[in-house]
Every structure is written in structure tokens, then in C-alpha cells.
Amino acid sequence: MRLLHITHEVFELHSNGTQHPERPERLRAVVAGVQAASGIDVVEGIPPPADMGALSRVHSPSYVSAIETFCRAGGGRLDPDTGAVPDSWEAALRAAGAGLEAVEQLMRGEASAAFLTVRPPGHHALAARAMGFCLFNNIAVVAAALVEAGQRVTIVDWDVHHGNGTQAMFYDHSDVQYVSFHEFPAYPGTGWLDELGEGPARGTNLNFPLPSGTGGDVYRRGLVEVVSFVERFAPDWLLVSAGYDAHERDPLASLRLVESDYGLLGAAVADMVPQGRLIMFLEGGYDLGALKRSVAATLEGAAGRPPAGEPLSSPDSAWQFLQQALDTAKQEIG
């Protein structure tokens, strides 16, 4: 598989503060994972800064200006979890612009898929609020641009934390399907079964909230079921919020995925859309070794060779939650 890998040195300069789990070393671990993936022909790309036109499709202009002013004034804390420094402004612009560049290159046929190693992450950012380590909603910026161009977009979010920002931005958009597997209850407290979208978008928002201790067996079964929902939606593009904090070694959550699970996740999303229409965005994941190995497994899976390995087993409650989520989705969609 020919993979477009987009990253930039400025992402290492963004900081949330000392001893913060979302730290520059994560970037190096992910790059090492991309390099370690077997059977991948990597093409490197440079992300341009997103402009106000792209950002304002999902963020209020006053919020964008406020983030610029805050960073240029020296930065600090935006909330108890989220910080910024002067270099965070350029990093945030380039993180938001990375997906737009990936779309351009994939449309030119320069790669089969793209993986974006960016910081800060994005899926918690709301239209006018930074939160959960996120400044701009990187994946939403790209989805909104694609929708404006007449495309249908499915977003699969496998970060352990629900992508509340992404869900909120497209909750009433019938051209965007949002599918999230996440731990519940957990930060940010959203993502329950009945959050299905509004108006013409009812049924395009599908949440799979899973309890502490859920392993890869439930994820693998859930993926098999989700394929039919995605096929029915018939997206032109598939975007992935690729978080790795559902790994059993991650310090911020309590799910129990292993590397082979991420390989199957990568294989599943690659099969959901035509070649050249898959973009994966780095979100969470805070154990550096697990991050490196899981990224490599994801890419090998997307290339059609997921690494072998058995999943860890889940408690009965996880299977019950999965079935309840599936029943809710089937009842809504048919």
C-alpha cells in the first residue's frame, strides 16, 4: 500500500505543560510506528496552515481569533486539561490543514490512503471552545470541506473518549455519518445510545458506549455489524479519529485492546471505501510503546495484512452494551 504520511516539526513544539500526557514524545512514537509498518510504501507530505475560510466552516471566527491572540500573548491554560504556547498557533493551523492537503493528494492518485501524525488532536474541540487537549477540530474541518464539495462522509472514531466536538458539529447534517466506539462512563460524558442525530440526520449518529474492561472481542464483533450501516450510508470518503488510548496499557482509560485489534480496525475501515478515500487522523494514545506498535498494526491492517493475535475477552456487561447499541441503531435505521 502506498501511504501518504503527513506531519511537521512544529507539532513537537506545541505543549500542554510539563508532565502532561499529551506530550511531544507521542509524535516520535507514531512516526516510529509508521516507519516500522511492513509492506507500506510511505510518501511524506507537509501540511499547510488551514486558512480562516476552512476553519470557519466549523469554528466561529471570533473563537479562531481568540486562540491566535491567546497563543501570541504567550499561551497558558485554556481549561484544566488543555494548554497552549506561542508555537501552538502554527501547530494548530497545520494540524487542521493536514487533512485538506491529504484530500488534494489522494484525489490526484498519489497514495492509497493517508495517516496524519498531528498535534494538537481535535475531536473534542467545539465550535467555540477548546477542550480535551484539542484546539481546532481537525477531522471536522476536512469533513465540512468535503460536504461543501458535494461528498458524503463517514467518520469512524475509535479513540477511547467520545468525540463530542465532532458529533456536535454534524449532529443535524445528513451528509455526515458519525460512528464512535468509546468507554462509557468516561470523559467527556457524551456518547450515549440515544444520541442519534436530529432532523434529517436522525440515524446518522451511532454511538457504541462500552464499559470498563471491554476487550477486543467486542470491538471485532461490533465492526462486523457496523459495516452494514456504513454500506447503507454509502460514503464517498471515510475519515478516522485514530486514537490509541483504548489499548490495555494506556494510563488514561480502562479498555483492553491490543495491537492485533488495531490491525483489524485498520483492515475494516480500508474495506469501507474505495482506494484513495481513507484518511486517518491521530487523536489520543499515551503509552509510547503501545502507540508505536498499534499505529504499525493499523497500517499493516489497512494494507491487507493485519498482524495475527487473539483479542482479550470482555465481561458480559460489554456484550450487553454492544447488543443494546446495535438494537438501537437497527431500530432507528431499519
Q: Calculate helix-pair angle for 216-233, 259-270, nearest 10 degrees.
A: 10
Residues with catalytic function: 124
Parse the chain into domains and list their residue ranges. Answer: 2-333
pLDDT, residue 91, reads 99
For 42-70, b where at least 16 C-beta lie within 10 A, e where not — what string?
beebebebbeeebbbbbbeeebbeebeeb
Asked whether the beta carbons of 302 and 270 are under 8 A apart, the reply is yes
What are the grid coordinates assigned to 285, written together? 494514545
Q: Per-residue pLDDT for the chain (334 aa), expressed as one digit of tens each?
A: 999 999 999 999 999 999 999 999 999 999 999 999 999 999 999 999 999 999 999 999 999 999 999 999 999 999 999 999 999 999 999 999 999 999 999 999 999 999 999 999 999 999 999 999 999 999 999 999 999 999 999 999 999 999 999 999 999 999 999 999 999 999 999 999 999 999 999 999 999 999 999 999 999 999 999 999 999 999 999 999 999 999 999 999 999 999 999 999 999 999 999 999 999 999 999 999 999 999 999 999 999 999 999 999 999 999 999 999 999 999 988 6
What are the DSSP calls for 225-285, one per residue? HHHHHHHHH--SEEEEEE--TTBTT-TT---BB-HHHHHHHHHHHHTSS-TT-EEEEE---
Cα 61 from chain centre: 24
Asked whether the beta carbons of 124 and 164 are under 8 A apart, the reply is yes
pLDDT, residue 10, reads 98
Which ranges of 117-252 does DSSP label H, i.e. alpha helix? 138-148, 164-169, 216-233
pLDDT, residue 332, reads 86
pLDDT, residue 207, reads 98
Q: What are the residues facing 256 on neighbouring strands?
A: 215
> What kind of architecture, by CATH, is found in domain 2-333?
3-Layer(aba) Sandwich (3.40)
